[in-house]
Amino acid sequence: MSRASAVWLTKEDRRVRIVALTPRGKDLIVSAFRKHSGQMRRVFSELCPEELQGLEVALKKVGKRAAALMEQS
């Protein structure tokens, strides 16, 4: 791929795809993450520390259950 692209893709083995971010791709990800992180801080600013901790516990529990269900499929 050209250097203007955001990712490099190897074509050595058709059974495997290895994708890596180019420096430009890394810059795009860093910029997007900073924006997203700021938005999430604003969204969750309504919750007190105890509510945030409870949400974290609940989401971890749901995530573990989802993973277990995926393994059963």
What contacts 21, CB < 8 A, 6 or more positions away?
A: 6, 7, 8, 29
Domain ranges (residues) in the chain: 7-72
In tens digits, the chain (73 residues) has pLDDT values of 444 576 666 677 666 677 789 999 999 999 999 999 999 999 999 999 999 999 999 999 999 999 999 999 8
Task: Take residue 10 and report the two structure tokens written for it.
Answer: 């190897």
- The whole model's pTM is what? 0.57
